[in-house]
Amino acid sequence: MEIKVITGDIAQIEADAIVVNLFEGTTQPGGATAAVDKALDGAISSLINRGETKGKFGEINIIHTFGKPRQIGAKVVAIVGLGKSQDFDTDKIRGVAGEFCRALRKLNCHKIATILHGTGTGGIQPEISAQAITEGALLGLYSFNKYKKPEYEDIEEMLIVIRESDKIPILEQATHKGSVVAEATNLARDMINEPANYMTPSRLAETAEEIANIYNLEFHIFDSADMEAMGMGALLGVAKGSGQPPKLITLSYKGDKRSEKALGFLGKGITFDSGGISIKPSEGMDEMKGDMAGAAAAMTALVAIARLKLQINVTAIIPATENLPSGTALKPGDILKAMNGKTIEVINTDAEGRLILADALSYAQKLGLSPLLDLATLTGACCVALGTLYSGIFSNNQNLTDKVLKAAERVGERMWQMPMPEEYKEQLKSEIADVKNIGHKYGGAITAALFLAEFVDNTPWVHIDIAGTADSEKESGYIVKGATGIGVRTLVELASSEAKNQEAT
Ligand code: BES
Ligand code: ZN
Ligand code: ZN
């Protein structure tokens, strides 16, 4: 979909549909909505008076004009509810944009026009609104069409209609930024939605290579012999059961040639998690094709960062393998030696994400990356603790955590900080190895994070458990069914704010 910013009167725009809005409890439409109401001879006011339109968040009322009255250029007028003005924020704009785009796509609209939402009484800056509309629209219209024809035709064009032309350049910059981050998120969604028989570790590596070629990034793919040489026994241990060769992928973007420093984004790349010998129940096992959502987020965040030409250096590190049972598979009770020399007693082969990340973390520190952020669909326990709206964030550094939480909040990705109490470390003690790979029954997301911490020295590090948030069972706002692409926007936002900070110093 093409997104353009133009000046004009929304009522006059020639399009299949125009979009205006209302806050909940509005009795008299204002601004552009009032102008459209007037052109419609008070149709919107009468819908409000009848109680048909309430302005509730996400509510969409459609008025079909059939080309009459002549003061209106569009055949369809959509009135979207912004909800209560006191609850309003940027993420609500993304949400309504997703909702109205899907509703208008169902009505076979190909060209739509919208006003900026929330910039009047909502108090949102025009450029923030334009970026949010762009993101919400592109994310909300996403569907994975590779193996099945889409149900509806695409909306080809969305016009954002404003009154004053002097804002056009800044709003075009905003829609560009919004498109870049939304497209990166949708690329992550594509990768995650792919079935595991397509998205193997090798294919993940090929995808990295393609990305590297398009965006001029450095990339490196290590195979099992390289891993052997580097002593990555934990990653190799997980890979033992699979017929697919494991890959360790690195992608580097250098946007700040003057500096040696680089951020490290790590992503869990289990392309299918059957649990291994500690096999999972078959119900819902298909969802474990998405156990590489962290990997997809780390890789595609680099795409956006490169496209935005941020002045910063970032390296993504992706340990990729399947976790399958077989005659050669890792067994409960086996002991692995990780790259940092620590020995790990594997009690449960289904706690494999932490094993591959252990080696990836060691490698990231060997490269001198700092700070480190890892994203992983790591534990079912995190879904139990926080549900499907919040990712859990764990860290050895509060300053970094605060930065990530703020970045996440700005982009509307909800995260909740979890504790890492020393006392729980005891649970990871093994009789015969340095650590074991699982703790007790309770607090599993925390013991998983504490396990990862065993492989981080003094480097500031944040671990984000996205097991609950990486996919969605229902569509709502800018989230659609299937992969959400969680994490991409936070990583890009964090890189963007770090790049700006460097400029200031
Ligand atoms: N990939 C799973 C975690 C997961 C669960 C992701 C649900 C998405 C949705 C992970 O590898 C796993 O199996 N973790 C185990 C750990 C346990 C054996 C300590 C879990 O959470 O049950
Ligand atoms: Zn597992
Ligand atoms: Zn897993």
- What is the per-residue pLDDT for 157? 98
- Answer whether 361 contacts ligand 1 (Cβ < 6 A): no
Of 280, 331, 337, 342, catalytic = 280
State yes or no: pLDDT of 184 exceeds 60.
yes
Element (H, E) at 6: strand 2-7
- Per residue in 163-178, pLDDT tens? 999 999 999 999 999 9
Closest C-alpha among 428, 8, 1, 418 to residue 175 = 1
Give the distance (Å) from ligand 2 centre to CA of residue 333.
16
Q: Is 280 annotated as catalytic?
A: yes
State yes or no: pLDDT of 117 exceeds 80.
yes
Residue 344 pairs in a beta bridge with: 336, 435
Give the distance (Å) from ligand 3 centre to CA of residue 403.
27
- Ligand found nearest the CA of 321: 3
Give the distance (Å) from ligand 2 centre to CA of residue 355.
10
| Ligand 1: residue whose CA is nearest its atom 5 | 380
DSSP string, 432-456: SSSEES---SS-HHHHHHHHHHTT-
- Per residue in 445-476, pLDDT tens? 999 999 999 999 999 999 999 999 999 999 99
State yes or no: pLDDT of 90 exceeds 50.
yes
Give the dihedral sign, CA 226/229/234/236: positive
Amino acid identity of 378? L
**Contact, 331 vs 240, CB < 8 A?**
no
Mean pLDDT of 482-497: 98
- Answer whether 379 contacts ligand 1 (Cβ < 6 A): yes
Q: Are strands 471-472 and 435-436 parallel, antiparallel or unpaired?
A: unpaired
Find the length of the chain: 505
Give the other-Cβ count within 10 Å of 126's Cβ. Answer: 18
**Contact, 460 vs 374, CB < 8 A?**
no
- What is the per-residue pLDDT for 241? 98
Question: For ligand 1, what atom is nearest to the CA of residue 380?
Answer: 21
Give the distance (Å) from ligand 3 centre to CA of residue 58.
35
Give the distance (Å) from ligand 3 centre to CA of residue 376.
8
Which of 283, 350, 473 best tests ligand 1's pocket when mutated (most atoms within 8 Å of CB)?
350
Question: For ligand 1, what atom is nearest to the CA of residue 439?
Answer: 19
Could you tell me the two tokens for 499? Answer: 């790049």
Mean pLDDT of 488-498: 98
Helix, strand, coil % over all residues of the chain, rounded to 5: 40, 20, 40
Q: Which residues contact 37 (CB under 8 A, 6 or more apart)?
A: 29, 43, 44, 45
pTM greater than 0.75 (yes/no): yes
Cα 244 to Cα 370: distance, rounded to the nearest angstrom:
31
- Per residue in 326-380, pLDDT tens? 999 999 999 999 999 999 999 999 999 999 999 999 999 999 999 999 999 999 9
State yes or no: pLDDT of 417 exceeds 70.
yes
- Answer whether 351 contacts ligand 1 (Cβ < 6 A): yes
- What is the per-residue pLDDT for 502? 59
**3-state SS assignment for residue 107:** coil
- What is the per-residue pLDDT for 356? 99
Q: Where are the beta strands (DSSP E) in 86-141?
A: 111-114
Cα 368 to Cα 161: distance, rounded to the nearest angstrom:
47
- Answer whether 291 contacts ligand 1 (Cβ < 6 A): yes
Could you tell me the two tokens for 147? Answer: 């193996």
**Contact, 357 vs 451, CB < 8 A?**
no
Question: What are the C-alpha distances in Å from 405 to residues 270, 417, 498?
Answer: 26, 8, 14
State yes or no: pLDDT of 503 exceeds 60.
no
- Ligand found nearest the CA of 286: 1
Which of 379, 436, 469 best tests ligand 1's pocket when mutated (most atoms within 8 Å of CB)?
379
Output the 3-class SS for 181-240.
HHHHHHHHHHHHHCCCCCCCHHHHHHHHHHHHHHHCCEEEEECHHHHHHHCCHHHHHHHC
- Answer whether 374 contacts ligand 1 (Cβ < 6 A): no
Q: How confident is the model at residue 501 (pLDDT cuts 50, 70, 90)?
A: low
CA neighbours closer than 13 Å in the CB half-sphere of residue 267: 36
Could you tell me the two tokens for 326? Answer: 């077989």
